[in-house]
Structure 1
Amino acid sequence: MKLLNVLILAISITVLSLDVSTVRNAYKEAAQDSSKIEAFSKLLTNVSKNDDVTLVAYKGAAIALLARNEKRIKDKKDLFVEGISYVEYAIEKAPNNIEVRFIRLGIQENTPKILKYKGDIEEDKQFILKQFKNINSSNLRNHIKDYILQSKSFSDEEKSVFSR
């Protein structure tokens, strides 16, 4: 019983010690370089649905990214669906969390049409456009801004607001 308590404490400390800005940067790198997906995923191994919803959404993104490297289509789809379940869970728990919406937008925008996971792009985009000014973290603001400026979902007019 004591061993179980120590193990739970160790896992909790690991999750609590995760710095969100480190996770953000790892996500950005993994999304751009498939050789970094595994490291990003390992960073979030101990995150569960009981943890901070932002970390839960990033874990979902990590699992969805892992699907890219699978050989068999069924394995790709199964991993993708598992990853998306984490992202959707996070949105269900915190629908007004801009970072969680941003994560879903990034996944939907970069997912093949065959997976039929593109239904909330416009909703998330509008949410981000309206709430961007309320972000307190400069790290998060820059992270989202960088994505918007290269995104195909945002018009040149919408991007011009962020390039000032």
Structure 2
Amino acid sequence: MNEKEARKKYFEAIGNERKIERLLKQLQEIENPSALLLAYCAACESMMAQFSWNPYTKLAQVNKSFDLFKEAIKEDSQNTEIRFLRFSVQHNVPDFLRKNREFEEDKTVLVENFDKADFDTEFRTFLIGYLKDSGRFEKSELEVLG
């Protein structure tokens, strides 16, 4: 599976436990995944937490997700898509878990590198809409995004 396939499958699977679980399994089977594929694996781990009824399982999956994000960002710290994925997970994780400490760091990378990212028009439009709707960006930051 390449990165564009992972992106397509991920966004098609949002909200669907079976699809996320299947994608997570496929991503986990990849030997030596790229930093971006590792980030998609992290995002899937976090998403699986929403389907678990056990709070300990939820927390374990969120923690695993953030460990994987840390590894992906260590490998490719300026990758806009990785930063977006972590930003979106942080945006949806409850504040009491204290997993949203990298918002400013991710926002900075997103704003500084967005125009250099290799996104098709549809995905770029989706990202801009998501970031605007998040309510976590200043107007001046959003203007830079497009």
Q: TM-score higher than 0.5 here?
A: yes
Judge which range, 79-88 or 140-149, deviates more: 140-149
Structure index of larger Rg: 1
Say which of 33, 38, 41 aligns to 2:24.
Answer: 41
Q: Unaligned 5+ residue runs, structure 2? A: none
2:105 aligned residue? 123
Equivalents in 2 of 1:121, 1:146: separation in Å? Answer: 17
Q: Which has the higher contact order (CA 8 A, sep 6+)?
A: 2
- Hey, what does 1:3 align to over in structure 2? none
Question: Please, which runs of 5 or more residues in structure 1 have no aligned partner?
Answer: 1-17
Q: Distance in 1 between matches of 2:54 and 2:12?
A: 24
Q: Distance in 1 between matches of 2:51 and 2:128?
A: 28
For residue 44 of structure 1, give the secondary structure of its aligned residue in structure 2: helix
RMSD of the TM alignment (CA)?
A: 2.2
Number of residues of Structure 1 aligned to a counterpart in Structure 2: 144
Question: Aligned partners of 1:27, 1:146: CA distance in 2, in Å?
Answer: 17
- TM-score normalized by the length of structure 1: 0.75
Q: CA deviation at 1:58?
A: 0.6
Task: Answer yes or no: is the 8 Å Cα contact 1:64–1:79 preserved in 2.
Answer: yes
Identity of aligned residues (%): 26
Instruction: Write the distance in 1 (CA, Å) between the matches of 2:93 and 2:113.
Output: 24
Take 1:93 and 1:158, find their aligned partners in 2: how far apart are those partners? 26
Alignment TM-score, normalising by the size of structure 2? 0.83
